[in-house]
Structure 1
Amino acid sequence: MTETFDIISPEAIKSGRATDAYFERTTEALDHAGRNPDVVAEVTADQFPTGTWHLLAGLRDAAALLEGRALDADALPEGTLFDGGPVMRIEGSYREFCRLETALLGFLSHPTGVATRALEARRAAPDSTVLSFGSRHVHPSLGALVERSALLGGLDGFSNVAAGDVIGREAGGTMPHALMICFGRGEQERAWQAFDEAVPESTPRVALVDTYSDEVDEALRAAEAVDDLDGVRLDTTGSRRGDFRHIVREVRWTLDAYGHSDVDIFCSGGLGPTDLRELRDVADGFGVGSYVSNADPLDFALDIVEVDGEPAAKRGKLTGAKSVYRTEDGGHHIGLAGHEGPDGAESLMEPLVRDGEVVREIDLDGAIERAAADADRVGFETGQ
């Protein structure tokens, strides 16, 4: 049996091996013809502003892919919201980056989808703790991608331990149903107490309270079994949930009635923005899983728009290099490079790579702050 997983290595990605086969055919044909034009290429999802906002993520990996290549690249800052136009521009001889297109688009497309969904969840419950619980729904090699993008979108924490090692943040979490089941029906107190006695002092004491009996019953039993319990978590499966809001309110009422007003209530289990909006006034926090982790990648494309200094683009694409602006009213404006932008507008395209050297610090904390501020600026909301 093989000792490896079905994962393309970082070395193969960096070398350009993780490419669509027709790019290998392209380099062979250009090499045969002795042709290697200087081009300007742009990464774009939509040509003109659409009114549907997306949160740019994945720029750190994209920059690392381009590093060491004889080319220049500009890009929007990570954590910028956009609804059309280019998010990155690459200038150089085409064969220098031809075989990188497939990986480059993947580095941007999937994280942008995840970060956008995370921002939707964040905006749905702006005053609640919202955690990312969804990395179990994707290939394990993508765990750090999911968790970093979730943080960028504004979520407060995540569950994947190895992802924390990669991005330099500590994962969090308390207990699964499996722990409760290992102790057995009627022995919930033993499970909660074993957890309380075993885990580090810094770990929040949050008890799972829907394994065998009514959530109200288990919540009260947990609060009385564990001293200084921080919270209870309701992960009620959909087939047994009924009116989830009513259940949460009943748990809150009962905890208060028995003197446990300091015990918070957390909810998880297939939740999305609509659920968070419905529950945010009765629950203290949420775990959001597949809604964020299973986001569709944004359909970016890389298109040549200039060849040897002359405008050039395929039919249906806007020719010529472009500039991107944020207008004073929060609008996103695209114009031809070299032309004057809107009055008072901020230019968003910034240097990323110069002659193969990454010239911009890509900082996760800065991107998180930028995303939150930009969401306010453009009035980001979701109808889901």
Structure 2
Amino acid sequence: MSEVTTTDLYEVTMALSYLREDMRAPATFSLSVRDLPPGRGFLVAAGLEPALDYLSRFHVGRSDVRDFADALGRPVEDLEPLRGLSFDGQVRALPEGRLVFAGEPLLEVTAPLPQAQLVETYLLSLVCHQTAIASKAARCVLAARGRPVVDFSLRRAHGPEAGLRAARLCALVGFAGTSNVAAARRYGIPAAGTMAHSYVEAFASEEEAFRAFARAHPGPVTFLVDTYDTDRGVATAARVLADLGLGPECGIRLDSGDLGALARRARAALDAAGLADVLIIVSGGLDEYGVDRLVRDGAPIDAYAVGTKVGTAADAPYLDAAYKLVEYDGHPVMKLSTAKATAPGPKQVFRGPGLRDVVGLANEEPPPGTEPLLRTVMRGGLRTAPPDPLAAARARFEADLAALPDGARRIEHPTAPAPAPSTRLTVLTTVVRHRIEARPGPGRTPEE
């Protein structure tokens, strides 16, 4: 399936019309989130690297034109003006890992109007999905308060590709590992995993299963102890670990039931068996809310494995994001729709101490004590630098997270910082609004 044709039909019809009308002047589109989802105090910018890959290889070929024509039920010749279209524009964007708030552009595309329009849907899909997942995963890191968190999301992700991306995003925000072997190899993430209940069921007893697993894996092992009776499973695991002289870095995994109470009983049993260095790992329908409750309750848990709810951003699976035209042919433009108005002109985000942000115009000087966040990452359709290492994105995330106000860090009922518009942006918005409202309407003259 072509990436070019992975788009909404109206992108094609608009781009074709622009070409026929010779509307090829530079246009700037701004991609931002109007409002944060409920329960979010921040978002983590993500998806830029695959977005730049997509733009770098964007090219409308012969087969794409045929597919467009088939979709529209029109002769191929009608769609020929689109053939050969490539992306040769500029992209300014927040680097991955930066925290972002409502109303701030994650990226801005400036390119000839047909190009900038035709890439809208794919960019929105990439950036919104990955920002949503990264933001959910980041809250798990906050909830764990320094305890390792591992990604188990692949089997419940919305497809293998989504699972691969989720593993990368989890690593970006500080997860300790992933169960996804392909992601571990591609991104250099530590691979992590234990065993399934089916493995234990395949043997005549839990003890046989544990001993067989230890024979196959002489390094640190983790036994899943809740296939039958959890307390007995813990006792059996303790006996096998002690008999085989296994201890440091080995663990047991709890996957169901009252994880806090079970962890307390398991810790007591392991300690009594002289296995104080055996770790307790928990999984089973966890996300930041479950992790937060367990940590606040003081459960003796050493690591958390999260999957379904994080890999699908279950409580906030989409973002109220938009990709809107803010300038065409050097003229700032805006949308006035009720509750969906946009601000005109290319923009910049200026960040001050404590993540106090100002959204201003791209060409204005930074307010004192602030730094501009959007960088030029593509010019003339080419990257301005090699792909950003995952470690660099993680370092940016950790720095921003450390500066995040306490209210935005809360797992329950967070309060998100509200960026302020600059004076110049406010003035431009007023001027453009008045200009639009003064346009002649039906039955009116300019003087009216």
Q: TM-score, normalised by structure 1?
A: 0.89
- Per-residue CA deviations over 1:100-138 (Å, capped at 9, x if unaligned) read 111111111111111111110001112211101112112
- Per-residue CA deviations over 1:131-183 (Å, capped at 9, x if unaligned) read 01112112122221110011112111111112223324342211011101111
**Percent sequence identity over matched residues?**
31
2:51 maps to 62
1:100 maps to 119
2:233 maps to 218
Work out whether 1:134 is the aligned partner of 2:153. yes
1:312 maps to 333
2:128 maps to 109
Q: How does 1:254-333 map to 2 (within 5 A)?
A: 254-280=269-295, 281=298, 282-295=300-313, 296-315=317-336, 316-333=341-358
1:336 maps to 361
User: Which consecutive aligned stretches of 4+ in structure 1 deviate over 4 angstroms post-superposition?
Assistant: none
CA distance in 1, matches of 2:143, 2:274: 30
SS of the counterpart of 1:67?
helix
1:4 maps to none
The AA in structure 2 aligned to 1:171 is: A
CA contact (8 A) 1:144 1:167 kept: no
CA contact (8 A) 2:41 2:410 kept: no
Q: How does 1:223-234 map to 2 (within 5 A)?
A: 223-226=238-241, 227=244, 228-229=246-247, 230-234=250-254
2:18 maps to 30
Q: 1:189 aligns with which of 177, 192, 207?
A: 207
2:398 maps to 372
- Rg larger in 1 or in 2? 2
Shift of 1:47: 7.8
Alignment RMSD, CA only? 1.9
Shift of 1:258: 2.0
CA distance in 1, matches of 2:391, 2:206: 40
Q: How many residues align?
A: 361
Using the TM superposition, name which of 134-143 and 57-66 deviates more: 134-143
Using the TM superposition, name which of 150-159 and 374-383 deviates more: 374-383
CA gap 1:170/1:273 in 2 versus in 1, 3 angstroms: closer
Work out whether 1:174 is the aligned partner of 2:190. no
CA gap 1:278/1:47 in 2 versus in 1, 3 angstroms: closer
The AA in structure 2 aligned to 1:306 is: E
2:429 maps to none
Shift of 1:78: 0.7
1:245 maps to 260
2:41 maps to 52
CA distance in 2, matches of 1:31, 1:337: 28
CA distance in 2, matches of 1:342, 1:101: 31
CA contact (8 A) 2:143 2:289 kept: yes
CA distance in 2, matches of 1:246, 1:137: 27
CA distance in 2, matches of 1:181, 1:190: 10
SS of the counterpart of 1:368?
helix
The AA in structure 1 aligned to 2:94 is: L
Shift of 1:38: 1.2
CA gap 1:222/1:47 in 2 versus in 1, 3 angstroms: closer
Q: Structure 2, unaligned stretches of length 5 or more?
A: 58-86, 413-448
Work out whether 1:79 is the aligned partner of 2:104. no
CA gap 1:339/1:162 in 2 versus in 1, 3 angstroms: same
Shift of 1:87: 1.1
Q: Structure 1, unaligned stretches of length 5 or more?
A: 1-8
CA contact (8 A) 1:39 1:308 kept: yes
CA contact (8 A) 1:130 1:286 kept: yes
2:440 maps to none
Shift of 1:98: 2.0
SS of the counterpart of 1:87?
strand
CA gap 1:37/1:47 in 2 versus in 1, 3 angstroms: farther
SS of the counterpart of 2:29?
strand
1:119 maps to 138
Q: TM-score, normalised by structure 2?
A: 0.77
CA distance in 1, matches of 2:308, 2:231: 26
CA gap 1:136/1:270 in 2 versus in 1, 3 angstroms: same
CA distance in 1, matches of 2:260, 2:41: 30
SS of the counterpart of 2:409?
coil
SS of the counterpart of 2:320?
coil
